[in-house]
Amino acid sequence: MREIRLSDMDDIARGAAILGAGGGGDPYVGKLLAEVAIEKHGPVSVVDIDDVEPDAVVVPISSMGAPTVGTEKLPSGHEAITALRALERVMGKKATHLVPIEIGGVNSVIPIAAAAETGLPLVDGDAMGRAFPEAHMVLPALIGVSCTPMVIVDDKGNTMVLDTVSNEWAERFARAACTEAGCSVFTADTVLTGRQLKEGLVAGTLTLAHKLGRAVRLSPEPVATAAALLDGQLLITGKVVDVHRATTGGFARGQAKIEGIGAYRGMRMTLSFQNEHLVAERDDEIVTSTPDLICVLDNETGDPITTEGMRYGNRVAILGVPCDSRWTTPEGLRLTGPRAFGYDHDYMPISVGGN
């Protein structure tokens, strides 16, 4: 896509929330912000990563926090721009492009709103190819790009600039500040030059989100359509029978239990999440684990269901979707594999037996 118009927002938000693997925050508020900004300032230019000049200054802007809080504690709308301008002052140079740090819910939509407001072009891609819960879980980290300087802005106007000795320390201090601020802040960080985009981003994910959101909306079989577009495997269709969720340490953590229906009757699935879904077990066997995507869709409409939106009684179809291949390298798994989240098992590729 060459530009994002008002009429694209609905499909992008839907597609991005599917790609967000349950996380990235509820896209609804972000979508409203983006729609208001596009209505006021006009469409947003979108640029392929191959068309960005080598010394461009590409700035990811995102929100951080527990999505359970994000649905109740609304952004004022100015935080993203405040974070961007503060980062520019720290860097001593202007951003030439914006980009989403992750594809998923609110965080793919916030940069669209900021691009509309600032007139900056948006790069078609993101730094994860999905959503992950922690700030250092980004592809640029694999090529030695630092998360800092990182600017953190809250809804009250408090600003913080971090400069840390590692990306993990940036995550720790940012999370502490985020928690203190009420579990919801905006950040600008992990700045890339144009020449780092090929290695530092997953290309074309805004276009993919748009295409996916549109296809799911129009298809008579939305779940099958989503699976086909994403090269995903159906893990189960079922009914959510239990959700345990707690907002701790600045994250929404928990587990959901699903009982199979239709062809899956008699099977049970347990999903474990930390903002995003991380591990899917079917009848006590791990069938998909981070960094691969576990995408929960409404079984009828194909609409994405976020971890904070999942409820008893939801009829869902759950897809396992392969992640960007850089995540399954040893360095990638060190950052985002099961052990990075405290699980006592290694990454295993998606396996649903018999399929």
Summarize as ranges the residues that interact with a second copy (CB under 8 A): 156-165, 169, 172-173, 175-177, 179-181
Min dist. Cβ of residue 338 to a second copy (A): 25
Residue 172 C-beta: closest distance to a second copy, Å: 5
Identify whether the C-beta of residue 295 lies closer than 8 Å to the C-beta of residue 18.
yes
Our measurement of the distance from residue 216's CA atom to the centroid of its chain's CA atoms, rounded to an integer in Å, reads 19
Round to the nearest angstrom and report the end-to-end CA distance of the chain: 34
Exposed/middle/buried for residue 31 (C-beta within 10 Å: 0-12, 13-18, 19+)? buried
Pair of tokens at residue 156: 């009250």
Give the residue carrying structure tokens 């819910």: 105
Residue 84 C-beta: closest distance to a second copy, Å: 15
Which of 181/234 has CB closer to a second copy?
181
Q: Would you say 179 or 307 has its CB closer to a second copy? A: 179
CB of 181 to a second copy, least distance (A): 8
> Between 50 and 163, whose beta carbon lies closer to a second copy?
163
Minimum distance of a second copy from residue 76's CB (angstroms): 13
- Distance, in Å, from the CA atom of 110 to the CA atom of 102, rounded to the nearest integer, reads 11
Query: Residue 8's closest CA among 41, 50, 36, 43?
Result: 43
Using only C-alpha atoms, what is the Rg of the chain? 19
Q: Which is nearer to a second copy, 85 or 214 (CB)?
A: 85
Q: How far is the CB of 147 from a second copy (least distance, A)?
A: 12
Q: Which is nearer to a second copy, 119 or 157 (CB)?
A: 157
User: Residue for token digits 């699976």?
Assistant: 227
Q: Distance from CA of residue 331 to its chain's centroid?
A: 20
For a second copy, which is the closer residue by CB, 156 or 195?
156
CA distance 208 to 212: 6
